[in-house]
Amino acid sequence: MADAAYHGKALRHLPGRITFTTRLPANAVLYDLAPPPTGRRGRPALKGDRLGTPVDLAEILTTVPFGLYCCTITVIWYTLHGHHPADAADRREQAPWYTTKTDPSFSDMLAKLRRTIIAAQFMPNHLARPTEAEIRAVQRAWATAGLYSAA
């Protein structure tokens, strides 16, 4: 680990097993390592492809895990609540070119989740307020478990 004075050309020749952490200037632009010499005439490349600024790379590093998280949540929801054995058959009926489709795709799962969310927005949902006896029963259970002291 080092401060901002220790970055740049001096670190290019460190062995690959060494990692180096340093502060970068706010306007720094990061590049990949220089490609190997091509053997052609002319000056060899000093930099590789442009990777972007630290802010650009931070956005990529946070966006990709969030996207994977959303995909994971969709698949888990479908597995626990959305799956129906006839889903693949219904999809084959709607799209006859899927003659060999046996399992729902991610887009099928996502479409079903979207339909469920939209339908839930239009369903009447009148939640009953718990009775005083139900509230006291829960408070007693919490007190017994040591989670609540006002029972």
Strands 30-31 and 50-52: antiparallel
Q: What is the dihedral of CA 72, 73, 76, 81, to 10 degrees?
A: -150
Q: Report the share of the chain in percent with pLDDT over 70.
A: 82
> Looking at the whole model, is its pTM more than 0.75?
no
Q: 3-state class of 36 per DSSP?
A: coil
Looking at 19-28, 45-54, 115-124, which range is the least confident one?
19-28
71-83 average pLDDT score: 90
Is residue 59 pLDDT above 60, yes or no? Answer: yes
Is residue 10 pLDDT above 70, yes or no? Answer: no
Q: What is the pLDDT of residue 4?
A: 54
Helices 106-122 & 54-77 angle (0-180, nearest 10): 80
Please report, as a single letter, which amino acid is at residue 68: L
Q: How far apart are CA 103 and CA 87, in angstroms?
A: 8
Q: What is the pLDDT of residue 75?
A: 92
- pLDDT-derived band at 3, boundaries 50, 70, 90: low
Phi, psi of 120 (to 5 degrees): -65, -30
Is residue 17 pLDDT above 70, yes or no? Answer: yes
Q: How far apart are CA 33 and CA 101, in angstroms?
A: 44
Specify the higher pLDDT residue, 35 or 150.
Answer: 35
Whole-Å CA distances, 2 to 14, 20, 26, 87, 150: 15, 8, 16, 57, 54
Q: What is the pLDDT of residue 151?
A: 43
Q: What is the pLDDT of residue 148?
A: 56
Contact 47, 27 (CB under 8 A): no
**Helix spans in the chain (H):** 54-77, 87-94, 106-122, 132-145
Is residue 31 pLDDT above 80, yes or no? Answer: yes
